[in-house]
Amino acid sequence: MATTRAPAVLVEGLHKRYGDKRAVDGLDLRVEHGEIVAVLGPNGAGKTTTVETLEGFRRADSGHVRVLGEDPARAGRAWRSRLGVVLQDNHDLAEVTVGEVVRHVAGFYPAPRDPDQVIDAVGLREKVSTRTRALSGGQRRRLDVALGVVGDPELLFLDEPTTGFDPQARHDFWDLVESVRAQGTTILLTTHYLEEAERLADRVVVVAHGHVVAEGAPADLGGRGARRARVRWTVDGVRHEEATDTPTALVARLAAQVGRPDGEVPGLQVLRPTLEDVYLGLIGGTGTDAHEEAAR
């Protein structure tokens, strides 16, 4: 009998409270093997609490959570060796050099990536002999990424991985993520950079107030209505705008009705929503709350 492989991550009805604050409120999430899934949401939406629960750093109050087939709250060392984690902040091992700490962490895994190749990939070759306490914020972030990928994990958690990167470093990191995924690694990414999610993710999950409000491929997020084009034009000094699924047809009609003798429509603009436009529409009114801040 054929069997269906369980997803890499399966979350059903996850709840987590801190006092009277609901950090996660009935969240559902599914990540298939080989996917890159980006989790987006405003500060306090529940992203970090969810990811830390999946990593085994926090216990859920209720709900079903399975990561690589196991409950993170009870999984052992063999399960952890299959994970890579890039945390938001990491300030340990300040007195060792970049090369020493990457090689040291590589030794925790049964089949790690080559530490020198990882150091090159995150752009720290010139800092290989520098103590980590002497690194800049952006350089320290690159080191965090190196420590997350050096174990060649089956599932990689990236929590705001490119914070502090300059644009070139961010693009270099995206190339690294894509090369890691090409080798079969599943990746769960949280990010505030919409272009990062659009570049990397197969699916985007938008979280607000502790639960998922939308999910889908970056090009489809929010559904057809959220992706409608807006056409603007001017007639006798009055600005007009219309949302439409068929902007070409609308422009042709306008050219026939209000176009000048040369066929041009005064003040014509055709605007298509970006992922950022869709995202802001989905979280509109959610703002930043204190759910997760209460836990810190």
Query: DSSP assignment of 218-241, as one string?
Result: TTTTTHHHHT-EEEEEEETTEEEE
Average pLDDT taken over every residue of the chain: 85
Closest-CA residue to 286 (of 216, 218, 206): 206
Q: Name the E strands within the chain.
A: 9-18, 21-31, 36-40, 62-67, 83-86, 155-159, 186-190, 203-208, 211-216, 229-235, 238-244, 269-271
Interior CA angle at 13 toward 10 and 18, to 5°?
Answer: 115
- Residue of 33 and 174 predicted with greater confidence: 33
Fold of domain 9-222: Rossmann fold (3.40.50)
pLDDT greater than 60 at residue 121? yes
Sign of CA dihedral 226, 231, 237, 238: negative
150 neighbors 115 (Cβ within 8 angstroms): yes
- Residues of the chain within CATH 3.40.50.300 domain(s) are 9-222
pLDDT band at residue 290 using 50, 70 and 90 as cut-offs: very low
CA 217 to chain centre: 12
Q: What is the percent of the chain where pLDDT is above 70? A: 91
Kindly report which listed range (2-11, 153-162, 283-292) carries the lowest average pLDDT score: 283-292
Q: Which residue is listed with tokens 């209505």?
A: 225
Task: Enter the pTM of the model.
Answer: 0.76
Alpha-carbon span 50 to 209, nearest angstrom: 12
SS3 204: strand
> In the numeric block, which tokens belong to residue 51?
């990811």
Highest mean pLDDT among 35-44, 132-141, 222-231, 238-247: 35-44
CA distances from 115 to 87, 106, 109, 119, 148 (A): 19, 7, 12, 6, 11
CA distances from 242 to 28, 71, 250, 279 (A): 36, 50, 9, 21
Can you give the length of the chain in residues? Answer: 296
Surface-to-core class of residue 286, CB atoms within 10 Å of its CB (0-12 exposed, 13-18 middle, 19+ buried): middle
